[in-house]
Every structure is written in structure tokens, then in C-alpha cells.
Structure 1
């Protein structure tokens, strides 16, 4: 009886051991299968792909790409000091409807095809820089091509002063001041002439200016700023422009891409088109916004904005925020409300002509 009980215990023990070995073997096999599945899946996922496609770009790499692909599109028009004879010829050959302060068309200041003396303009007299700036602004506002005037007192403007005024007007009025190819000044104090040469036909420019106001209103209807702080409005405008504008892929860039008109109408703009659109929107929302031009390092003309929040100025480059987001979504705010020091890493500008930024980025 005792021997039978021992044999029974040995049999049960053996059966348990066999069962444990089977279970252990099955578990090992499952583990190996799972490792194999994961390994094969990872290999399949990475097949044909480069590591750089998955790697996050460093800030330096993004900046270098931005310089290469999203700068160099802005250039200022050429200015020239014109000889007296050329100044007279410009006035004489001008369409009378394109002239402010003179009549053009003839050497004596009258249109030989028009005998109505009521159409003859009185001589415009300019005695200060401010008066010249007002007259030049009127030229842009009305899309005129020639300004003729007589200097009064000791005032005698030159090309340097004309250039300074143009740059001021470009910053102040994105509605009217764009697409200028050449400008110049010349003549005698009693008979001075300023000319503008536009890159588009004047009829086209007039239509664009008129339609831009309507397009601006439409954009504002699409942006809901109700209850937002000024900071939130700036962020919303940045996002809106990034969502609705694309930087053209190939040069030469169409002339209208330098305008807010094309940014709003066609969803296509280069840097100054982005910056003009941003300025129009933020100014309409009561936020002070400046238009900045400079040069990227090592070269390449560029335009962006300065924005005033809480009494301090900050840089905003919507073009680069949009471009950088192609490689890193977080880069959409990389150039949003940042400092002079930060911007000096990638560009130079005439800092004496613009307000200095805050010491730290906006938080």
C-alpha cells in the first residue's frame, strides 16, 4: 500500500513537471514571435525613408533654410538725380493727367491740344520738407507720375531727401505706396521736377488700391477678435496670414506679390506682401505696427514688421513664421514678438530709423 502511494506521488510530480516545461516553452516561443513582429514592423516602416525625414531640425538649420528660401524678394526702387534738361523733358512729355503742380505736354506748361485756361494748374510752391512729403504722398494716393513745383525761401531738396521721404511713406501707407520701380528729382529752384516710374500700369494700380480696401474688410470679417487682448489679436493675425498666404515657389516673382492686394486676393505674396497685409490688419485693429526693410545675412532684401504691445516694440516676421512651419509646426511663432538681439542673428537693418525693441521677447 505504501509503495503504491509513492508511485502515485511520483507520477503526479512527473506530470506537473512536464506541464511546466510545456508552458515555459510556449511562453518563450510567444516572446520570440512578438520580438520578431516588432522588428519586422519597424523595418517595414522605415523602408525607403531617410533618417533626416524624421529628425527635428535645429533652430540654426531652420534659420539657414529661411534665409535661402524666404528672403531676397524685397528691393527698394532706384533713385536718381536727373539733369535739368532731362527734368524739363520729363515734364514736357508727361500726360497732363499724370502731373501735379504743372500741366506737361508742352514747353510752356500748357497742353497744346487744350485751349481751356481753366484747366491750367497754378504753379505749386514748396517751402519745406513736410510740404514736399505731402505732395509726394498725394502722387502715390492719386497714382500720379510727375510733380512740378517752385522752391521757396532757402529750401532746395535733393535725391537723398527724396529717398528719405519715400522710405517714410513706404512705412506709413501700405495702401498706396508700392510697386515703384524708379524715381528721381532734378531742375532749377524755380522749376523742380520729381518723377515716379511704376512697375505696373497706373490703371492697374488704381484698381488694386481700390479693391484692397474691400479685401481688407473681407479678411477682418473672417478673423474673430471678439474678447481678445492685443497680444491675442497679434497671434490671431499671424496665424490667419500663415493659413491663407503661400510664398511663391519660383522667381521672378510677379510684381503684385509685393502687395497686400495679392496677399488677400490671391493668397500669394513675398515678404513685403506679408508685411503690408499684417500692417493693414493690425493698424485697423488699433495696434501700432511698423513696416521694416533690411538685408538678411549674408545677403537678400527682406521686409517684416515691428509691433507695439504694452508700450514696447517687438519684431514679427510672418513670412518666416509661415515658411518655418513647413519643417516644424512650432516654428510658426519663432519670429513672433521677438527682440532686436534675436533678429540680429539673421539680418541687418537701419536700426537708427526704427524704434528699439524690448529687451526680452513678449511673454
Structure 2
């Protein structure tokens, strides 16, 4: 159900070959760990942060000085790209196509990102087009609004996404895997729902991550993406806006803990993580005070 898996092999292959050659939204951080970067080494985190900054600034080439060997930097690049696409939904112009980078001066990783064709003009990034889409996204954020509490806010987000966005799965349309599919086109796949929910949470200052893995429902297992969100009690809970949108009960998969059983399955059976590092979920479902 999510396209990211289809590019993992290409990204890792790219990393093996390197040796031969809206404004930034609120950062979602915990006090002890930034879960958007949990799978990266310390060296990788530094490169990642520089790349995110460069992409937000819409630079044609982004660079990062690193302390370590060139091979260590190359080895992190494939994973950095995966994290960039999944945990920074506001960078909707970065494409899934083959990406490569090079080391210059012995300690600088240089990357000229490839962007979706619709956001390029004359071979260069079309910043005006991006800004126009960002304005559309900002209008949606303002329209959806927030509540007085974190619970009221995430309830608003889930309700808006499940009532206003139609599920679709079309490889020919890259938008369905981006928040632009959900918030602008109003149709997307699970990846689009998950990115849109995180984008809304980021703008509201609520900690949230996109989770990749396998979803099992109705006896069928397939690639899937959903969210973990941190509530006011300091604990993390599962939110699956995609499955909420597809069912009659729009809160069936809403702020669930690991002890929950839905459709006769334990939560971590219906939603099996891909092996990346994610926050530990609460055992109990969230209870609004």
C-alpha cells in the first residue's frame, strides 16, 4: 500500500555506487529522542538535518560537512532519503526517483536532489509553483483548525481526513503518496493519509511519526502506513486514518494501545512495524479526561 518500499532497493543500490563517483513546519521532538531520526547514526543525523534545511530553502544542491569516512556517509545516504520522504511530508516536491550524491573536499556530502517534474521549470526547481501549493496547504490547515486539547485536535484531524479525503491507489499519480493528495486533491493512498495527519500534527506542535509496515484486515496482509501520536499523558498511541476512512466507524483505529484487539486481532498483529525504530506504544487505549 505504500510506495516507499518500492524505492528501498534503488536507494540502497545508490548508496553502494556512490564511492565510484509552506516553510519548515514545527519539529516533532521528544525530550530524550527525535523519533524521526532514530534509525540514523550520529553522523547520519547531522547530514539529515543539513539536507532538510537545504530542501526547505529549495536549494538546487544541498551539502553537509561530516566527521567520518566517505563510506560511512554513503552508507547512511539511502536511509536518510527514506526518512526524508516519510517524516518530512511538507517537502512534497522531492521525488522518488533515483538519487545520488558525491563527496567533495574529503568531508562534504553534496546532493543535487531530483524533484517531481511538475515542480520543475527549465530544468530548475519552480519555487513559485511550490509556494502556490504551500499556500493551498496553509489554507487547509487554517480551515481544519485545532481544539482546546491535544485530544480535541487529533479528533478534528482524523474527522477531517476521513470525511473529506477519498481512498485511491494509483501508481501513475505520485500525489496519492504525498500530503498534497490528501489535502489538495482530496484523494490518496495510505501513505498520503499518514503524511497528511503528521503534517497537521506538526503544525499544531503535536509529536507524530509515520510508521511503515504490514497491515492485516479481512484476512489479507499488505504493505501499509499509519501514525503514532504522542498525547498529553506522555504516551504514544496508534492512529490509522486510512482504515478509519474506509470503514463506517471513523474512530475504529483511533488512539489505540498494544492491548487493544480490533477485528479479533491484537493491535501489533493487524499493524506490524517494518523493523525501524519507533516510539513504544502505550498498552492501554487513550482515555480522554
Tell me what 1:233 maps to.
153
Task: Verify the 8 A CA contact 2:44 2:73 in the aligned structure 1.
Answer: no
Q: Distance in 1 between matches of 2:234 and 2:67?
A: 40
Aligned to 2:234: 311
Query: Superposed, which structure 2 residues align to 1:1-363 within 5 Å?
Result: 71-75=1-5, 77=7, 78-79=10-11, 80=14, 81-82=16-17, 87=21, 128-144=43-59, 146-147=61-62, 154=69, 156-176=71-91, 178-186=94-102, 190=106, 193-203=110-120, 206-207=127-128, 209-226=130-147, 228-248=148-168, 251-297=170-216, 300-309=222-231, 310-324=233-247, 329-330=248-249, 332-340=250-258, 342-350=266-274, 353-363=277-287
Checking the alignment, whether the CA contact within 8 Å between 1:241 and 1:318 is kept in structure 2 is yes
User: What is the deviation of 1:360?
Assistant: 1.1
Asked whether the equivalents of residues 87 and 209 of structure 2 are also in contact (C-alpha less than 8 Å), the reply is: yes
SS in 2 for 1:304: strand
Contact (CA 8 Å) 1:293, 1:349: kept in 2 or not? yes
Shift of 1:296: 3.0
Alpha-carbon distance between aligned partners in 1 of 2:239 and 2:126, rounded to the nearest angstrom: 27
Unaligned runs of 5+ in 1: 1-70, 88-126
- 8 Å Cα contact 2:51-2:63 kept in structure 1: no
Contact 1:209 1:261 in 2 (8 A): no
Residues 1:150 and 1:82: Cα distance change in structure 2 (over 3 Å): farther
Contact 1:150 1:189 in 2 (8 A): no
**Secondary structure of residue in 2 paired with 1:344:** helix
Distance 1:149 1:176, change over 3 A: closer
Change (3 A) 1:252 1:189: same
After superposition, the Cα gap between the structure-2 partners of 1:316 and 1:253, relative to the gap in structure 1 and judged at 3 Å, is farther
Extract unaligned runs of 5+ from structure 2.
Answer: 22-41, 260-265
Query: What do residues 254-310 of structure 1 show as CA deviations (whole Å, max 9, x unaligned)?
Result: 111222123222211111211121112122222211122223356533221111112
Write the distance in 1 (CA, Å) between the matches of 2:179 and 2:205: 18
Q: Greater RCO between the two (CA within 8 Å, min separation 6)? A: 2
Q: CA deviation at 1:233?
A: 1.5
What is the CA-CA distance between 1:195 and the residue it aligns to? 4.9
Residues 277 and 194 of structure 1: CA distance in aligned 2, closer, same or farther (over 3 Å): same
Q: Distance in 1 between matches of 2:175 and 2:126?
A: 9
Question: Residue deviations 1:320-345, cap 9 Å, x none?
Answer: 11012xxxx22x11111112464322
**C-alpha displacement at 1:138, in angstroms?**
3.8
2:101–2:112 Cα contact (<8 Å) kept: yes
RMSD of the TM alignment (CA)? Answer: 3.2
Distance verdict in 2 for CA 1:251–1:273, change over 3 Å: closer
Select the structure that is richer in helix: 1
Paired residues in the alignment total 246
* TM-score, reference length from structure 1: 0.58
- Name the CA distance, whole Å, in 2 between partners of 1:354 and 1:183: 25
CA distance in 1, matches of 2:238, 2:130: 27
Give the secondary-structure state (helix, strand or coil) at the position aligned to 2:117.
coil
Kept in 1: contact 2:179–2:196 (CA 8 A): yes
SS in 1 for 2:48: helix
Distance 1:361-1:208 versus aligned 2 partners, 3 A rule? farther
- Conserved in 1, the CA contact under 8 Å of 2:213 and 2:225? yes
